[in-house]
Structure 1
Amino acid sequence: MTTDNATSLSPLIHLVDDDAAVREGLSLLISTVGLRVQAWAEPQAFMAGFDRASIGAIVLDVRMPGISGLTVLEQLLAQGVDQPMILLTGHGTVEMCRRAFKAGAAEFLEKPVDDEVLIEALQNAVRQHVRSRERHQADQQARERFAQLSAREREVLGLIVEGLTNKEIGKALALSPRTVETHRANLFGKLGAESLAQLIRRYAALVE
């Protein structure tokens, strides 16, 4: 298992292949574009010890002793691992390719893999992972903000989303216009919304 000395802030690529020459060659290639590389010879050791919190991607050889890269992919996805996974194989078949994409592979490439094709696939995977983590963080923040709302504020929010005016909300909840305005202002502040459209989108994301 090897790790380069790049900054911990750069994306981390986990490379899992039982062929030492492949690990060395691909590690050098990947590091040339500013990505950190952690190479693993044994898939079992990788599954037990890799950093699941890191931003990056996973490159898996399909044919490895003990457990195939495709099985590793399926097991990791079942465990909720969110790093995009790229499969490499020297003996690809249509059925294997179909199974890989159906299981959730980000890419399926045949060896010997073209350098530019692999780098492009990795960069796309990293961008995909960054966006996914950002969405997850935004959703988590929205849930935390929603939890801060009072029962009355949630009632007002639901009626705003239904399209009711402040006057109609006041009548429905037996509130004065000033009180409705106060709740409305609190909702925008607590949910971090800058417009009505943004407020509605955040509410919709929470109740999906």
Structure 2
Amino acid sequence: MKPENDCRRCRLCEGRARLVMPDGDPGSPLALVGEAPGAKEDEQGRPFVGRSGKLLDRLLEEEGLSRSMVYITNTVKCRPPGNRPPTPEEMEACFPFLEDELADRTVIITLGRSAARDLLGRDVKMKDEVNQPQEITVRGSRKVLIPAYHPAASIYNAKVKDSLRETFRIARTCLEGRGIFLSTGT
């Protein structure tokens, strides 16, 4: 199930320029899930293309990964006005799409508290739960979910950058422990 270009499941459609569809490898066992598109994403129709996206790309590369090796999406496909967090109703409207996107993944990294909360179905204390793999079920299939800080939080904070690097290492270890090896893309 994919949202149609004329999707009207919630009011976010009223202000969007375009739907922001997933990017990266549609067959990747590793998914990165952000909260919602920002202005640049709304403009280009791709997730994580603004400043935090450029940083995300760099951090992935530092860990031997690339955007083309992972699957990148958001909990909602339209930009909330003023870059506010999506409401529970907006997230619920897009949740069937997100479930479909994650059904074939093995490891899911949530980028930011909102994305983690949406997939875990409860409030998340980031300082206690970052980089702590947890099991979730998506469409009857067990997945490993790793809560991580949003790349935007790392722009001015080296500790958060280090935490994100560790997130990618943990994800790779979780995959390799299941016999799944991501090639370095070189």
More helix by share: 1
Give the TM-score of the pair, scaled to structure 2.
0.42
Greater relative contact order (Cα 8 A, min sep 6): structure 1 or 2? 2
| Rg comparison, structure with higher value | 1
